[in-house]
Amino acid sequence: MRVPVRCCWGPLPGGGGGCAGRRQSPQWRSLVGLSGSSGGEDGRGARVREKPPWRVLFFGTDQFARETLRALHAASGVLNVHPSCLPRWRGPAPIIHTVLHGDTVAGVTIMQIRPKRFDVGPILKQETVPVPPKSTTKDLEAVLSRLGANMLISILKNLPESLNNGRQQPAEGVTHAPKISAATSCIKWEEQTSEQIFRLHRAIGNIIPLQTLWVNSTIKLLDLVEVNSSVLTDPKLTGQAVIPGSVIYHKQSQILLVCCKDGWIGVRSVMLKKTLTATDFYNGYLHPWYQKNSQAQPSQCRFQTLRLPLKKKQKKKLLLCNSAPSS
């Protein structure tokens, strides 16, 4: 969310004087609770502000007029409500990366935007909150949106003072939060630990379900659960050779157990053409496998890392890198 803020105590862009003496629009009067107030033919009473202290416009597309943005910036700057403790997690996906990397503290920063570069301007206000264990991106987003709204109201009530007291961001502790893509959701069974997979699920599972490969078909893992310690003593897990990606159905828990770099994760439901419970997947895919291959080992019946095709831009970049002459 970008919040351009134009102070109305100075001259308007392109001349025409300040707000004094200007007839306030019905929209403005309704915003401040003045429509229908008594005290004058156009509804101006003792509570009417002749010079409203601020004006806010919300926008989220590139179609917003460039000249208007330049005028707003020249008048009093543009504010950004950013859901991280800048300079940590600069970029478009700060909440996702907060969850993905297991941060224990999150926050909101209200800052001024600098031309051509986002998330580097002076900090007007910054507050932190603890991240509850096992929070999802959706959970944290709700907390930070409420915090950010209250902070923005506080800033706008004392905007001149807030602008004067802005502080530069520290040079240390800069991290970046790039946009996620479908490739982010592809589990690397040989490389990722169970904790990393669960964090990935909490970070992006409600946006892009985690994906893997099953016998040349893409399968989405919808509902991940931690594996109870008592399940881990099952002879199926301890008595046979398994490798990352190996899949075993645990009948008592009715979950699929999937081996990863350092242990196991549980999966209650998947999507393969349609949504299937773990039991459905076992009956339709695992059970026939073992029936037809009586000597099959769990290591042969496994999920594999899904390698998505590169996009055109990525292919072009890779070709340029490969064609560059070596020094």
Q: For 61-88, how does the pLDDT look when each residue is reduced to its tens digit (9 = 90+)?
A: 555 556 666 666 666 678 899 999 999 9
The full set of domain ranges for the chain reads 62-165, 182-304
Domain boundaries 62-165, corresponding CATH code: 3.40.50.170
Mean pLDDT across 244-251? 91
pLDDT value at position 22? 42
Arithmetic mean of pLDDT over the chain: 78
pLDDT, tens digit, for every residue of 160-181? Answer: 899 899 999 999 999 999 999 9
Question: Looking at residues 38-45, what average pLDDT do you find?
Answer: 45
Q: What is the pLDDT of residue 82?
A: 95
Examine the pLDDT at 91 and tell me if it is beyond 50.
yes
Write the pLDDT tens digit of every residue in 102-155.
999 999 999 998 877 889 999 999 999 999 999 999 999 999 999 999 999 999
**CATH architecture of residue range(s) 182-304:** Roll (3.10)
In this prediction, residues 228-241 reach a mean pLDDT of 76
| Fold matches, 62-165 and 182-304 | no
**3-class SS letters over the chain:** CEEEEECCCCCCCCCCCCCCCCCCCHHHHHHCCCCCCCCCCCCCCCCCCCCCCCEECCECCCCCCHHHHHHHHHHCCEEEEECCCCCCCECCCHHHHHHHCCCCEEEEEEEECECCECCCCCEEEEEEEECCCCCCHHHHHHHHHHHHHHHHHHHHHCHHHHHHCCECCCCCCCCECCCCCHHHHECCCCCCCHHHHHHHHHHHCCCCCEEEEECCEEEEEEEEECCCCCHHHCHHHHCCCCCCCEEEEECCCCEEEEECCCCEEEEEEEEECEEEEHHHHHHHHHHHHHHHCCCCCHHHCECECCCCCCCHHHHHHHHHHHHCCCC
Mean pLDDT of 290-316: 67
Question: Averaged over 232-247, what is the pLDDT?
Answer: 79
Asked if residue 215 has pLDDT above 90, the reply is no
